[in-house]
Amino acid sequence: MIDRFSDWVSHRHEYAKEWKKRVGGKVIGYFCTYTPEEILYAADLLPVRIFGAHEAETSIVEPYIYGMYCPFCRDCLAQGLKGKYDYLDGIVIAQSCLHMRQAFWAWQKYIPHEFDHYLFMPHGIQNVGRYEFLHAELTRFKGALESWLGKSITGADLNRGIEICNENRHLMRQIWEFRKLDTPPITGLEAMDITMSSQITDKREHNKAMTQLLKELPERRLDRETGTRLMIIGSENDDREFTKMVEQEMNLPATFVIEEHCIGSRYFWNNVAHEKDRLMAISKRYIDRPPCPNKDWPMRTRFSHILGLIEEYKVEAVILMQQKFCDPHELDKVPLERFFNERNIPNYFLEFDVTQPTGQFRTRVEAFLETMLELV
C-alpha cells in the first residue's frame, strides 16, 4: 500500500489527466496551502498543488520572474511555461510570499487557462478582525467559482468539502502517531509521499488508501536502524532525493520522524470545527493553523508548537532547511537557532536550491550526525 503514495507523486500529471477523463471534472492548480481546498471540493473540482520538478534548467522563466526569487517558485513557473500543467482549468493563490505571488501573476498573464483567483489571505493573523476579513474573502472566492461554473455551492456542498478534507487530515494525524514509536514503521520519505500525494490526488481516493495503510502499520517492520531521530523545519520542502539520501545513503543511520513545513504537518495539523456558518468555520481553520513565518507575527506563536513536536516525537536533532532567497524563513532562522541553542537542542542549517543536486549536502549532514554520537 505504501508504494501507491509514491507512485501518485511520481506520476502526478498522469493522475490528474486520468481523473479528468474518468470523472469529467475540472482541475484547479493552487500555489499555497492556505488555499481553502474545502471550497474547491464543494464545487466538485480537483485541487492540485503546483510543484516544480527539481530541474536545473529554468532559464525559460527569465523574462517573467527575477533571478533572485527562490528556486522553488521559478521551478513551478517553468513547469507551467513548459506545458506540464496544460490540463489545469484554473489557478488559485491564497496571498503568500512575494515570490510565489509573482509566479502566480506570470502564470495568470502568459499561460492559457479558464479561471484564476487571487485570494487575499491576511498576513496579520494575530490582528483583530482577521476571521471576518477572511470570511469576506472566502465569500468572494465562492462567488467567483459559482460564476465560472454556472452553479451554486450550497451549504450541503460545503459540508461535503469540509468532511472530505477533515477526514484526510484526521487519517494523516493517525499515521503520524506511528512515527512517535521508538522504531517507527514508516520513514520520513514515505511520510513525505503521503502528504505530497494528498495535495495532488482526489482526497476521497487518498483517504481510502490511508485507511488501508493504517490497518497494515501495526504489523509493519522496517529492515533498517532508526538512528538519530531528526526533525526538519523550514521552507516548502518536497525534496524527496535529499530525504532519501539522509535516510538511506548515510554512513550513520537517521530517520526524519516529524517535520514542520507546508508539505508536512503544517498542512494537515488542525481540522475545520463545526460551526453553523461554514465559511466562518473554514476561515478560523486557516487562520488558526500552525502558521507560515510570513504570517507568524508580531509574536512567534509557532515556536511553542515546534517545541511540543520535538517532545512528542522524541526528536534528537533539528535540520533547518531554507529555500535559497526565501525571505520569510531567512528572518525566522536567527530566532529559531537562538531558541534551540538556549534549550540545548542540536540544530544545523542548510540553504537549498531545489534545481541543484542534493549530493553536495551529504558530507555536511554526515558530519552533523557524527557530532550527535559525540553527545551520547
Tens digits of residue pLDDT in 261-320: 988 999 999 999 999 999 999 999 999 999 988 898 888 899 999 999 999 999 999 999
In a domain, 266, yes or no: yes
Q: Is residue 39 part of a domain?
A: yes
Neighbouring CB atoms inside 10 A of 77's CB total 29
Residue-wise pLDDT for 151-185, tens only, equals 999 999 999 999 999 999 999 999 999 999 999 99
Q: Please indicate, yes or no, if residue 222 is contained in any of the structural domains.
A: yes
pLDDT above 70 for 357 = no
Reference 316, options 362, 261, 264, 255; nearest CA is 255
Q: How far apart are CA 373 and CA 15, in angstroms?
A: 43
Residue 361 inside a domain? The answer is yes
| Positive or negative torsion for Cα 174, 175, 180, 183 | positive
d(Cα 226, Cα 221) in Å, to the nearest integer?
Answer: 11
Q: Would the pTM of this model clear 0.75, i.e. be above it?
A: yes
Domain annotation covers residue 1: no
Backbone CA torsion sign across 331, 55, 267, 312: negative
Instruction: Please give the residue range of the domain that contains residue 166.
Output: 6-376
pLDDT at 252 over 80: yes
pLDDT tens readout for residues 100-116: 999 999 999 999 999 99
In degrees and rounded to multiples of 5, residue 319 shows phi and psi of: -105, 120
CA distances from 79 to 32, 57, 74, 199 (A): 16, 10, 9, 17
In Å, how far from its chain's centre is CA 313? Answer: 19
Q: CA–CA separation, 100 vs 94, rounded Å?
A: 10
Other Cβ atoms within 10 Å of 347 Cβ, number:
17
- Has residue 126 been placed in a domain? yes
Report how far apart, in Å, the C-alpha atoms of 89 and of each of 27, 114, 145, 165 are: 5, 5, 12, 21
pLDDT of residue 376: 55
* CATH number of the domain within which 169 lies: 3.40.50.11900
**Structural domains counted in the chain:** 1
Q: Is position 42 within any domain?
A: yes
**Cell numbers at residue 181, please?**
514509536
The pLDDT score that the predictor gives to residue 224 is 93
For the cut 70, the answer to whether the pLDDT of residue 218 exceeds it is: yes
How far is 232 from 238, CA to CA, in rounded Å? Answer: 12
